[in-house]
Amino acid sequence: MQPIYITDLDHTFLRTDQSVSDFSAKVWNEKRKDAILSIATARSFQKSHDFLAKLHLDAPMILLDGTMIVTPEKKLIDIKTINKALGDAIIDEGSKYGIYPFVIALRDVKTLDEAFLFPTSLNSHQHGVLENYRNDPRMVECKNIRAMEMNLKIVYFGEHNTLRPLAKHLESTFGKALEYKLSPEKYSDGWFLTILHPEGDKAHALNKVMEYLERDSKDVTVFGDSVNDIGMFKLAGTSVAVSNALEEVKAVADVVLPHSNDEDGVAKYLDNLH
């Protein structure tokens, strides 16, 4: 039976400059001859597709933190969204803390056409993030940002001392109706708070992918570095953290690699398997 390997992208498989090294691409494409390979990322279908143009994928991709599962051929397997009423309520509660979020939503479920809504009023951390999306066709500036009908995730970027109390407030307000993930943003010195459907995380998505493949989650090896990988780590048969992973991720990993994402840690691990 073929082994299954699923990797996170940013700060795990991708280098810090968001590239895939020739070595990583070579190892990945050779490994697919005797294994099933895929990704679990916070990125969208298009962003992941752009990065992975030279890589072969054999299983459904876990996208947007687990809110969407899509085959490499763009067939939708599963989706978990926040409805407009709840999304608007989140935005209203956040406004009490003087901060407005990014909203990643789906315009059309058939075409997987996404929208990336961002507020006119931005803090310095949000400005920095948007630099990476200058030419992204999904971008929509909103003077009065509101949720859409199918919201995949609502994301706040800012200072820890703003987002920590906001996270606690949202959790006390909405409880188990949502999933809340607060993490440091590794591309800057800020933090991000991601709000998801309660089953819109990588752990739930991993179970869905295993059902699709008719395999057990204990058959999969997963790679990651951040808070949104922890649930997936707890389900997988083998969990592997790159050396640059957050300490709380390393603490639950079965294997902590001696190499970072910039040293092709995942590819070196795969290359050493027999």
Percent of the chain with pLDDT over 70: 98
Residue 187 has pLDDT above 70, yes or no: no
H helices present in 144-200, as ranges = 160-174
pLDDT recorded at residue 106: 93
Q: For residue 141, what are the β-bridge partners?
A: 118
Could you tell me if 149 and 204 lie in one domain? no
Total count of domains within the chain? 2
The CATH number assigned to the domain holding 247 equals 3.40.50.1000
Convert 95-111 to b/e letters by CB count within 10 Å (16 or more is b): eeeebbbbbbbbeeeee
If pLDDT is split at 50, 70 and 90, which confidence band does 222 have?
very high
**Residue partners of 93: CB distance under 8 A and separation at least 6:** 166, 169, 170, 173
Going by their DSSP bridges, the two strands 179-184 and 191-196 should be labelled as: antiparallel
Could you tell me if 140 and 36 lie in one domain? no
Residue 271: exposed, middle, or buried by beta-carbon count in 10 A (0-12, 13-18, 19+)? middle
pLDDT tens, position by position, 28-40? 999 988 999 999 9
DSSP 103-130: EEEEEETTTTEEEEEEESS--HHHHHHH
The CATH number assigned to the domain holding 122 equals 3.30.1240.10
Domain that holds residue 128: 84-196
Could you tell me if 32 and 122 lie in one domain? no
- Summarize the confidence of residues 67-92 as an average pLDDT: 95
**Residue partners of 247: CB distance under 8 A and separation at least 6:** none
Residue 163 has pLDDT above 70, yes or no: yes
Please name the amino acid found at residue 231.
G
pLDDT recorded at residue 43: 87
